[in-house]
Amino acid sequence: MRAILQRVSKGSVSVDGKLVADIGLGYVVLLGVGHDDTQEKARELAEKTVYLRVFGDDEGKMNRSLLDVAGEMIVVSQFTLHADTSRGRRPSFINAAKPELAEPLVDYFIEQVRGFGVQVQSGIFGAHMVVDIQNDGPVTITLEN
C-alpha cells in the first residue's frame, strides 16, 4: 500500500458537484492499493498514520500525532499512486490492484483508523472526485509498506 499524507487545516471531496467529505484539521490521505497488499499491511499503515508525529507542539516542533490533536481524516482511493512511468510517456497502471481487491482494502484501512477513535470520511471509490486540500506547512509525507 502507498499513502500520501497531507497535513491539512481543511480538506474536502466533491463528486458530481456534491460535497461528500469535509474536514478541518487533520489529514487528507491519498491511498493506493497494489496487487500484493493485504489486511495486515492496511492495519499497519493505519496505525502508522494515526501515530505519525507531524503536528506542532507548543514549541512548533513536529511532536504531536493525529490522535494528540484530535484531528480528522479524509481517505481518497487513488490507483494512480501505482503508476509505472518507466517506459514511454503514458503511465501504466498494471501494478494497481483490481477494484475487487482494492475497494475492500480501502474500506478495511478506514475501519482500522476509526478503531483508533479518529473521525474518518472518504471519497467515493471509483468516482471522479474533486479533492480540495489546504495543505498546512506544507507537510506531505509518503508512506509505503
Q: Which of 77, 69, 33 is nearest to 52 (CA)?
A: 69
Sort strands 2-15 and 26-32 into parallel, antiparallel or unpaired: antiparallel
Q: CA angle at residue 36 from 30 to 42, to 5 degrees?
A: 45
CB 114 within 8 A of CB 74: no
- What's the chain's length in residues? 145
List, by residue number, the catalytic residues: 78-80
Q: Cα 101 to the chain's mean position, in Å?
A: 17
